[in-house]
Chains A and B, each alone.
Chain A
């Protein structure tokens, strides 16, 4: 199978960054691209959601919330096993319990290209998964301590950029419905991949910058950043099977569970747990896990989903 061209854009960015090329995209462009992607994902989910909202979905959302609590605990245990100190282990665990919307966009494009259907309300799960890990991470780092400004932090978490955009898109899509949204449809059809390609080019550049600092943290961090997505994917895929999701949905939830946040969580953790070293988390999530998921992980998680279904799970 040839690599998807959007993935090649990522590789191109990675390469340009590693050879220290002058190539640099303006930061405002990156912002713009991520806003368009998140809104498009939200809108698409909202339109479909309006057609098939159900009580079952509520139960599933509860299970996904549970997954968001479980993942950082697993990551924390793994990190402590690798002898990371408590505060840093908690901060990194929060990143890995949460999700990466960029990775989600890639798995959407991947499944669409393969013609594999998936549950349309997946974007809702992205928004749900983003939150609990941050809270679990803070609790793991400091316990319930009085000097945590929960109110301020709550605003940071619940009103964060990516959650707002996803939920905003979902609600607009759900209210507008399929017919009315027609003029905006290119956002998630013909426009989606070009935007994703430019976005991934910038992500490649950013990831290469993080890769450079890997030398400082060494083998243990790299090991974690490769093991955790595999473990997360397995947990996510098993949960998806238990929830009775389709093949596409299973691969997607596995990918979500495998992905690590690099936008919402770093900002929240920096304020809530300032003692933690922020570049430790970013090196792992951006430098290793994101490229791993884009290049190797997503096809692997699809194969995992296929295998589980073949086993009758």
Chain B
């Protein structure tokens, strides 16, 4: 089975940013994304997602390496200082490279 390498960008952040992030992804040309609710704990304390204002999301994008890096850089420039946000890159293998 042939497999192709792509980069998975995962972003975990405040739910307040959802609309902004999706607009950014669209503008920077991400091929697609998956969004889910998340909860956890980090340097900004427990983010329990008990209700609206402390909700968190987890955003996953699979794309080419250079786009993933551009996205990550954009996030770092715009949101890291003031928002609770974590993002990381990972190599993944996909079966249908034309989708990503």
Interface of A with B (CB < 8 Å)? 27, 30, 152, 206, 209, 262-263, 266-267, 270-271, 274-275, 278, 282
Shortest distance between the CB of B39 and any CB in chain A (Å): 11
Interface of B with A (CB < 8 Å)? 14, 16, 19-20, 48-53, 82-83
Q: Which residues of A contact B20 (CB under 8 A)?
A: 271
A270 and B16 contacting across the interface, CB-CB below 8 Å:
yes
Q: Which residues of B contact A270 (CB under 8 A)?
A: 14, 16, 53
In the assembly, what is the distance between CA of A282 and CA of B51, in Å? 13
Return the contact of A274 from the options B48, B50, B51, B82 (Cβ within 8 A). Answer: B82
Shortest distance between the CB of A272 and any CB in chain B (Å): 11
User: Would A275 and B82 be within 8 Å (CB), given that A270-B14, A270-B16 are in contact?
Assistant: yes
B52 and A263 contacting across the interface, CB-CB below 8 Å:
yes
A267 and B82 contacting across the interface, CB-CB below 8 Å:
no
A267 and B52 contacting across the interface, CB-CB below 8 Å:
yes
In the assembly, what is the distance between CA of A150 and CA of B28, in Å? 22
Return the contact of B50 from the options A152, A209, A262 (Cβ within 8 A). Answer: A209
A267 and B16 contacting across the interface, CB-CB below 8 Å:
yes
B51 and A27 contacting across the interface, CB-CB below 8 Å:
yes
Q: Which residues of B contact A271 (CB under 8 A)?
A: 16, 20
A262 and B53 contacting across the interface, CB-CB below 8 Å:
yes
In the assembly, what is the distance between CA of A274 and CA of B51, in Å? 19
Q: Which residues of A contact B83 (CB under 8 A)?
A: 274
Shortest distance between the CB of A90 and any CB in chain B (Å): 15
What 4 pairs across the A-B complex have the smallest Cβ distances?
A274-B82, A270-B16, A266-B53, A27-B51
Shortest distance between the CB of B17 and any CB in chain A (Å): 8
* Complex A-B: 26 CB contacts under 8 Å: A27-B49, A27-B50, A27-B51, A30-B51, A152-B19, A206-B50, A206-B51, A209-B48, A209-B50, A262-B53, A263-B52, A263-B53, A266-B53, A267-B16, A267-B52, A267-B53, A270-B14, A270-B16, A270-B53, A271-B16, A271-B20, A274-B82, A274-B83, A275-B82, A278-B53, A282-B53
